[in-house]
C-alpha cells in the first residue's frame, strides 16, 4: 500500500485528530496514522478555561461547530450527551497528613478552592478520553482526513524533497510519501526515535511516579467531610487535588459516576511507601489509602473498573521540537506532571499556532524556529512552576501561594484573550510577560525563605485581576466580576469597556466576533 499526501500526522489523540481536521479544512491532503484503534483508554482528562477558549476559537476560525459545543459543559450535555464528560467547576486542593484524618478547622482548614467558571452551563469538563478522542477522530474523517489505524510505522526518511514513512498495516507493507510530518504520538515518541532527537530530560526538575486507575463508587468529599464551610462551588465538581507528603492525588469525577484517580509521587513520596523499583500498583495504592484516612474513607467503597497502572517516571523532554519538514506536538516533545492540568491547553496553543502556519502553505523555516523556541520556553515554565509546587507541598500556605502564581497567570491570560487579544503566539503560562514570565523561577529561589506568601502576593499584583492572595477569602475564590471591574486598569481597559464586556465573561454572548470559515479561494491547494 502506498499513499501520497501533503501532510502526515502520526498519532490520533485529540491533538493529532483536531489538527488533522483543521489542515483538511484548509485544503491540505492529510493522512492520520494511528498504531492502535479507537475507542481506547487514555489519560489526561481535565480541561481548563484556556483550553476551552482555544477550542471555541478553533471552532469559529475553521467552522467546527462541535468544538464550540464541547467547550462548555452545558452545551456539551445538550448536544453531545453520548460523549462522556464530567463537570469541572474549578480546582480543589486539600492537604492531608499521614495517619490523621483531614482536620476540619472551618474556614482555616488546609483547603484551597479556585473557581474556573461562574456557572455549570459554561463550566469546563473532564474528558473521558476514550469517548472524546474517538469523537474527534470521527470528525476528522468526516472532514476528509485519510485515517489509517493499526499501522506500525518503522521508518521515517526526511529528505530535502519530502518525507517517506514506512511500516506495516494489517500485515501489509505501508508507505506514505508526504511533504511534511507532524508527530502527535505523545510519549510514544515516534520522531524522537526516528530522528534520534537527544533527550532534554536532564533540564526537567520535576520528578514523579504515578499509580492510577478508574473507579466506581468513590464517595463525595462533601459526604466524607460534611461540615466544611461551603466554597464557591461544590468541592467535588472540580479537579480534586489531595496533597500528601511528597506528592498528591488527582480525582476527577465523570458524570456517569466513574472517577479517574491517581497518585503522583516525588521520589521522596514514593520512597516513603515502597523501596521496590517496580512495585505492585494495587498494593502501593492500598498503602497510600491506609496512610491518609480521609482519602481512604472516600475510596472505601470504590472498585477499580480497570487494572491499576504504575509508571516510575512520567516526565519526558526532548531538545528539539521542529526541523525542516517536521514538527512535534507538545505532548510528543515534553510532559511535566498533571498538576495544574496544563497539557490540554498547551496542546491547543500548538494546534492554533500550527493551524496558522499551514494556512499559507507549509510552515516556513522561521515559523518552525519560533515554534521550537516557544515550546522550549513553555516546557521550562511549566516545569519550574510544578517543581516549585512539589517543593512547597510540605507547607500548605506556601503551596497555596505557589498555586496562586499559576492561577494569576491563567486568569489574566483568559480575560485578556477573551477581551483584548488572542494571538496564539503569545506565550503559555506567562512566557514572554515581563511580570509573570520570571515568577516560577524566582519562586523556586524564594520558596523556603520567610515571607514567601507575602512576596507572591506582591509579585502577582500587576496581573491579579481575580482578587487572589486576599486573607479575607480564606483560600476560597469564586469568579468575582466585581473585583475584575475594579481592576480594569490591569487589563488596559476602562471601567466602561470592561462593564460592556461582562456578558461575554458570563458566557451570555461570544466575546470574539465570529470569524469567517476559510473560503475556497483561501484554501491552499497542494499537489
Ligand atoms: C497522568 C497524566 C495525567 C494528565 N492529566 C492531565 C489533565 O488533567 N489535564 C490536562 O490538560 N492534561 C493532562 N495530562 C496531559 C495530557 O495527557 C496530554 O496533554 C494529552 O494526552 C496530549 O494529547 P495528544 O493527542 O498530544 O497525545 P496522546 O493523548 O498521548 O495520544 C497519542 C496517540 O498517538 C498514538 N501513537 C503513539 N505512538 C505511535 C506511533 N509510533 N505510531 C502511530 N501512533 C502512535 C497513541 O496510540 C495515541 O493514540 C496528563 C498526562 C498524564 C501523563
CA distances from 73 to 97, 140, 393, 417, 479 (A): 34, 22, 31, 20, 17
- The predicted model scores a pTM of 0.96
pLDDT of residue 502: 87
Can you tell me the distance from the alpha carbon of 454 to that of 266, in angstroms, rounded to the nearest whole number?
27
pLDDT of residue 360: 87
- How far away, in angstroms, is 429 Cα from ligand 1 center? 20
Q: Which of 9, 37, 43, 260 to probe ligand 1 with, by most ligand atoms within 8 A of CB?
A: 43
- Which residues are 248's β-sheet partners? 243, 264
Position in ligand 1 atom list of the atom nearest CA 48: 11
Going by their DSSP bridges, the two strands 124-127 and 85-88 should be labelled as: antiparallel
pLDDT at residue 147 is higher than 50: yes
Is residue 33 within 8 Å of residue 8, measured between CB atoms?
Answer: yes
347 lines ligand 1 (CB under 6 A): yes
Can you tell me the distance from the alpha carbon of 429 to that of 426, in angstroms, rounded to the nearest whole number?
9
329 lines ligand 1 (CB under 6 A): yes
Distance between the two ends of the chain, CA-based, in angstroms?
A: 19
Give CA angle at 197 (195, 201), nearest 5°: 155
403 lines ligand 1 (CB under 6 A): no
Is residue 399 within 8 Å of residue 385, measured between CB atoms?
Answer: no
443 lines ligand 1 (CB under 6 A): no
Is residue 428 within 8 Å of residue 383, measured between CB atoms?
Answer: no
- How far away, in angstroms, is 110 Cα from ligand 1 center? 32
pLDDT of residue 257: 97
Can you tell me the distance from the alpha carbon of 49 to that of 513, in angstroms, rounded to the nearest whole number?
19
- How far away, in angstroms, is 44 Cα from ligand 1 center? 7
pLDDT of residue 516: 40
Confidence class for position 477, pLDDT limits 50, 70, 90 = very high
Report the run of H or E that residue 329 belongs to, with start and end: none
Can you tell me the distance from the alpha carbon of 349 to that of 329, in angstroms, rounded to the nearest whole number?
10
Residue nearest to atom 6 of ligand 1 (CA): 44
Q: Would you state the cell numbers that stand for residue 490, as one nine-digit string?
A: 490591569
Confidence class for position 527, pLDDT limits 50, 70, 90 = very low
Can you tell me the distance from the alpha carbon of 223 to that of 33, in angstroms, rounded to the nearest whole number?
45
pLDDT at residue 509 is higher than 60: no
338 lines ligand 1 (CB under 6 A): yes
Q: Would you state the cell numbers that stand for residue 135, as one nine-digit string?
A: 469523537
Range in 59-73, 363-377, 388-402, 415-429 the model is least confident about: 415-429
Three-state DSSP class for residue 505: helix
- How far away, in angstroms, is 434 Cα from ligand 1 center? 31
- Residue 184: name the closest of 306, 44, 377, 369 by CA: 44
Report the run of H or E that residue 284 belongs to, with start and end: helix 281-291
- Residue 119: name the closest of 373, 482, 478 by CA: 478
pLDDT of residue 268: 96
153 lines ligand 1 (CB under 6 A): yes
Position in ligand 1 atom list of the atom nearest CA 17: 25
pLDDT at residue 11 is higher than 70: yes
125 lines ligand 1 (CB under 6 A): no
- How far away, in angstroms, is 166 Cα from ligand 1 center? 23
172-192: per-residue pLDDT in tens?
999 999 999 999 999 989 999
Can you tell me the distance from the alpha carbon of 247 to that of 209, in angstroms, rounded to the nearest whole number?
9
pLDDT at residue 309 is higher than 70: yes
pLDDT of residue 515: 43
515 Cβ contact list (under 8 Å, min separation 6):
60, 61
Q: What DSSP string runs through 353-388?
A: HHHHHHHTSSPPHHHHHHHHHHHHHHHHHHHHHHHH
pLDDT of residue 521: 36
- How far away, in angstroms, is 525 Cα from ligand 1 center? 31
Q: Which of 131, 140, 186 to probe ligand 1 with, by most ligand atoms within 8 A of CB?
A: 186
pLDDT of residue 420: 85
CA 465, 470, 473, 474 dihedral sign is positive
262-306: per-residue pLDDT in tens?
999 999 999 999 999 899 999 999 999 999 999 999 999 999 999
190 lines ligand 1 (CB under 6 A): yes
Residue nearest to atom 35 of ligand 1 (CA): 11
11 lines ligand 1 (CB under 6 A): yes
441-454: per-residue pLDDT in tens?
999 999 999 999 99
- How far away, in angstroms, is 38 Cα from ligand 1 center? 14
Can you tell me the distance from the alpha carbon of 95 to that of 102, in angstroms, rounded to the nearest whole number?
7
Position in ligand 1 atom list of the atom nearest CA 190: 41
377 lines ligand 1 (CB under 6 A): no
Range in 111-120, 421-430, 481-490 the model is least confident about: 421-430
Query: Which is more confidently placed, 360 or 37?
Result: 37
- How far away, in angstroms, is 332 Cα from ligand 1 center? 8
- Residue 414: name the closest of 51, 41, 14 by CA: 51
Residue nearest to atom 13 of ligand 1 (CA): 44
Residue carrying C-alpha cell 496542546: 347
- How far away, in angstroms, is 242 Cα from ligand 1 center? 23
189-235: per-residue pLDDT in tens?
999 999 999 999 999 999 999 999 999 999 999 999 999 999 999 99
pLDDT of residue 311: 97
pLDDT of residue 444: 97
Q: Would you state the cell numbers that stand for residue 169, as one nine-digit string?
A: 498495516
Mean pLDDT of 44-66: 97
Is residue 46 within 8 Å of residue 116, measured between CB atoms?
Answer: no
Can you tell me the distance from the alpha carbon of 289 to that of 69, in angstroms, rounded to the nearest whole number?
38
Residue 111 backbone phi and psi in degrees, to 5: -150, 135
Quote the mean pLDDT of the chain.
94
Q: What DSSP string runs through 407-473?
A: HHHHHHHHHHHHHT---TTSPGGGTT-TTTTTHHHHHHHHTTSTTHHHHHHHHHGGG--S--S-GGG
Position in ligand 1 atom list of the atom nearest CA 346: 19
Going by their DSSP bridges, the two strands 239-244 and 90-95 should be labelled as: parallel
84-119: per-residue pLDDT in tens?
999 999 999 999 999 999 999 999 999 999 999 999
- Which residues are 159's β-sheet partners? 162
Can you tell me the distance from the alpha carbon of 510 to that of 262, in angstroms, rounded to the nearest whole number?
36
pLDDT of residue 506: 74
189 lines ligand 1 (CB under 6 A): no
Position in ligand 1 atom list of the atom nearest CA 38: 49
34 lines ligand 1 (CB under 6 A): yes
Maximum distance among all Cα pairs of the chain, rounded to whole angstroms: 67
- Residue 501: name the closest of 514, 484, 516 by CA: 484
Amino acid at each position: 500500500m502506498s499513499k501520497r499526501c501533503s501532510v502526515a500526522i502520526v498519532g490520533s489523540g485529540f491533538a493529532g485528530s483536531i489538527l488533522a481536521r483543521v489542515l483538511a479544512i484548509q485544503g491540505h491532503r492529510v493522512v492520520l496514522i494511528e498504531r492502535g484503534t479507537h475507542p481506547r483508554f487514555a489519560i489526561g482528562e481535565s480541561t481548563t478555561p484556556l483550553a476551552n477558549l482555544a477550542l471555541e476559537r478553533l471552532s469559529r476560525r475553521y467552522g467546527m461547530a462541535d468544538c464550540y459545543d464541547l467547550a462548555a459543559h452545558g452545551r456539551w450535555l445538550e448536544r453531545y450527551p453520548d460523549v462522556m464528560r464530567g463537570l469541572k467547576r474549578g480546582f480543589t486542593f486539600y492537604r492531608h497528613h499521614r495517619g490523621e484524618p483531614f482536620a476540619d478547622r472551618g474556614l482555616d482548614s488546609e483547603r484551597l478552592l479556585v473557581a474556573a467558571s461562574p456557572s455549570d452551563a459554561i463550566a469546563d469538563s473532564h474528558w473521558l478520553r476514550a469517548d472524546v478522542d474517538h469523537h474527534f477522530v470521527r470528525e476528522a474523517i468526516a472532514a476528509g482526513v485519510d485515517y489509517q489505524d493499526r499501522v506500525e510505522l518503522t521508518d521515517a526518511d526526511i529528505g530535502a524533497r519530502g518525507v517517506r514513512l514506512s511500516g506495516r498495516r494489517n500485515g501489509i507493507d505501508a508507505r506514505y510519501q508526504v511533504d511534511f510530518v507532524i508527530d502527535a504520538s505523545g510519549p510514544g515518541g515516534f520522531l524522537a526515535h526516528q530522528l534520534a532527537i537527544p533527550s532534554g530530560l536532564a533540564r526537567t526538575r520535576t520528578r514523579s511516579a504515578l499509580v492510577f486507575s478508574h473507579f466506581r463508587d468513590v464517595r463525595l468529599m462533601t459526604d466524607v467531610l460534611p461540615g466544611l464551610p461551603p466554597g464557591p462551588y461544590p468541592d467535588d465538581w472540580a479537579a480534586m487535588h489531595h496533597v500528601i507528603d511528597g506528592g498528591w492525588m488527582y480525582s476527577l469525577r465523570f458524570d456517569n459516576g466513574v472517577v479517574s484517580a491517581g497518585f503522583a509521587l516525588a521520589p521522596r513520596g514514593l520512597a516513603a511507601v515502597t523501596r521496590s523499583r517496580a512495585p505492585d500498583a494495587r498494593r502501593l495504592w492500598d498503602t497510600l489509602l491506609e496512610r491518609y484516612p480521609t482519602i481512604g474513607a472516600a475510596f472505601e467503597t470504590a472498585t477499580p473498573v480497570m487494572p491499576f497502572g504504575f509508571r516510575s517516571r512520567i516526565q519526558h523532554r526532548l531538545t528539539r521540537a521542529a526541523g525542516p519538514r517536521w514538527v512535534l506536538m507538545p505532548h510528543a516533545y515534553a510532559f511535566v506532571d498533571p498538576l495544574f492540568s496544563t497539557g490540554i491547553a498547551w496542546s491547543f496553543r500548538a494546534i492554533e499556532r500550527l493551524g496558522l502556519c499551514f494556512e499559507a502553505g507549509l510552515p516556513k523555516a522561521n515559523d518552525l524556529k519560533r515554534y521550537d523556541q516557544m515550546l522550549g520556553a513553555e516546557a521550562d515554565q511549566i516545569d519550574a512552576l510544578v517543581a516549585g509546587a512539589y517543593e512547597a507541598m510540605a507547607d500548605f500556605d506556601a503551596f497555596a501561594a505557589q498555586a496562586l502564581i499559576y492561577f494569576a497567570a491563567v486568569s489574566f491570560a483568559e480575560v485578556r484573550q477573551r477581551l483584548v487579544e488572542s494571538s496564539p503566539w503569545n506565550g503559555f503560562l506567562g512566557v514572554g510577560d515581563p511580570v509573570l514570565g520570571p515568577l516560577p523561577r524566582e519562586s523556586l529561589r524564594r520558596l523556603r525563605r520567610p515571607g514567601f506568601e507575602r512576596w507572591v502576593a506582591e509579585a502577582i499584583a500587576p496581573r491579579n485581576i481575580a482578587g487572589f492572595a486576599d486573607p479575607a477569602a480564606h483560600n476560597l475564590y469564586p469568579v468575582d466580576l466585581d473585583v475584575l471591574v475594579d481592576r480594569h486598569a490591569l487589563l488596559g481597559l476602562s471601567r466602561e469597556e470592561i462593564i460592556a464586556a461582562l456578558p461575554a465573561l458570563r458566557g451570555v454572548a461570544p466575546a470574539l466576533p465570529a470569524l469567517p470559515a476559510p473560503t475556497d479561494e483561501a484554501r491552499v491547494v497542494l499537489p
